[in-house]
Amino acid sequence: MTQTILITGASSGIGKATAQLFHDNGWNVIATMRTPENDTELSALKNVLVTRLDVTDSATIASAMQAGIDKFGKIDVLLNNAGYGAYGPLEAFPMERIRRQFDTNVIGLIETTKGVLPHMRANGAGTIVNISSIGGQMTFPLGALYHGTKFAVEGISEAMHYELEAAGIRTKIVEPGMIATDFGGRSFDFVNDEEMTEYQPVVQALFSRWGSPDAGANASPASLVAEVIWTAVTDGTNTLRYRAGADAVELLDNRKAADDATFIGGMKAQLGLT
């Protein structure tokens, strides 16, 4: 029987590339997004259902899953991909935007997972793939909110790895490095208050680094992450973590090898903050 994957955040970037890859490999795809009416490509593909799912809207989670089951019979894999990054001095963020970051990247992931687990338990099988980041195991300045959510995804996923195994359900974490997607555009939320003068040297240093000509030199295409997701889903192992991109491998190896003072000192030196 043809297998089915449900993908959140499939309108662009990693989600869209993964939908295309799984479709090309003969899978049924439930490609979900907040504005499915804007899609012109995935909806034209056979065995792809494009439907609305906003991870902050409980009703859309339930309806998207039911629509997928009604069309394809079951859901074998859930890819929790929807998310965005909030950066800036923590003090400058209003609480409603802080809550939005955690509601999207953490609570939304949890609720979507909870929504599919009864179905997978009844089938005695399934795979949950959660998109984390190198930012789930290391941090950059001004990323308290984004990194907080991705560290949470790592902990949630690792704990789930234990408990879901008894139900025949695998849990996987994919950790991309820098990816050539629109993360710096609509998937990026930056807040600053220039009157908080103490934070401005860090803000300027970070944007100088991100705006440099070589900032995206090591960025991997979204298709590379899709291939890592494909491996995580199909390799038949209980491996928990998968890195995506040469920079992810290098940075996470360096972080693992360094103590806190060494790593933080190196980061500050790179940004000219020493």
**Distance, CA of 240 to CA of 119 (rounded, Å):** 22
Q: In the structure encoding, which two tokens stand for residue 271, read together?
A: 């940004």
CB 23 within 8 Å of CB 48: yes
Q: Count Cβ atoms below 10 Å from residue 247 Cβ, excluding itself.
A: 18
122: domain CATH number is: 3.40.50.720
User: In which domain, by residue range, is 25 found?
Assistant: 4-270
Tell me, rounded to whole angstroms, the distance of Cα 146 from its chain centroid. Answer: 11
Active site residue 12: no
Active site residue 212: no
Active site residue 242: no
Catalytic residue (one of 11, 16, 132, 220): 132
Per-residue confidence of the chain (274 residues) as pLDDT tens digits? 899 999 999 999 999 999 999 999 999 999 999 999 999 999 999 999 999 999 999 999 999 999 999 999 999 999 999 999 999 999 999 999 999 999 999 999 999 999 999 999 999 999 999 999 999 999 999 999 999 999 999 999 999 999 999 999 999 999 999 887 654 555 789 999 999 999 999 999 988 877 665 656 678 899 999 999 999 999 999 999 999 999 999 999 999 999 999 999 998 998 888 7
pLDDT in tens, 235-247: 999 999 999 999 9
Catalytic residue (one of 11, 16, 146, 157): 146
Q: What is the pTM of this model?
A: 0.95
Between strands 28-33 and 48-52, the pairing is parallel
Of the candidates 73, 55, 61, the one whose C-alpha atom is nearest the C-alpha of residue 131 is 55
Catalytic residue (one of 133, 150, 157, 172): 150
If one counts the domains in the chain, the total is 1
